[in-house]
């Protein structure tokens, strides 16, 4: 079946612009996660959605970052007023219980 998909695969933006990244989870997966991987660094947790519960936003690095999820479907991660340090691969994952299935990521470059 279809895996987790993300769009766009690559995004180049100018410093100060807003960007939206999209994640389509595997159908039926109630949990959805956003992670970030900056060049040469490990993966970092950003935010977690579980069903209709309030999201766990504890990993968001600043108030410029926000995310929404419509029901148990698509999620968008929004970064406002992008900075160069936001350049990274943004990964989405979904799960039914605990094993997480990762999307291919969106490579964001802020010039």
Nearer CB in complex with another protein: 17/96: 96
Spatial CA neighbour of 66 closest among 53, 84, 48, 78: 78
* Residue numbers at the binding site for another protein (CB under 8 A): 31, 33, 35, 41-48, 50, 56, 58-59, 91, 93, 95, 97-105
Q: How far is the CB of 99 from another protein (least distance, A)?
A: 5
- 16 contact partners, CB below 8 Å, separation of at least 6: 81, 82
Q: How far is the CB of 80 from another protein (least distance, A)?
A: 22
């Amino acid at each position: 079946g279809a895996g987790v998909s993300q769009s766009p695969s690559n995004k180049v933006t100018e410093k100060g612009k807003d960007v939206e990244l999209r994640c389509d989870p595997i159908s039926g997966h109630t949990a959805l996660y956003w992670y970030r991987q900056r060049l040469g660094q490990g993966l970092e947790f950003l935010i977690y959605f579980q069903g209709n519960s309030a999201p766990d936003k504890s990993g968001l690095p600043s108030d410029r970052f926000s995310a929404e999820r419509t029901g148990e479907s698509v999620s968008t991660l929004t970064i406002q007023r992008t900075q160069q340090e936001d350049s990274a691969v943004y990964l989405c994952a979904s799960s039914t219980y605990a094993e997480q299935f990762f999307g291919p990521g969106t490579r964001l470059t802020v010039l």
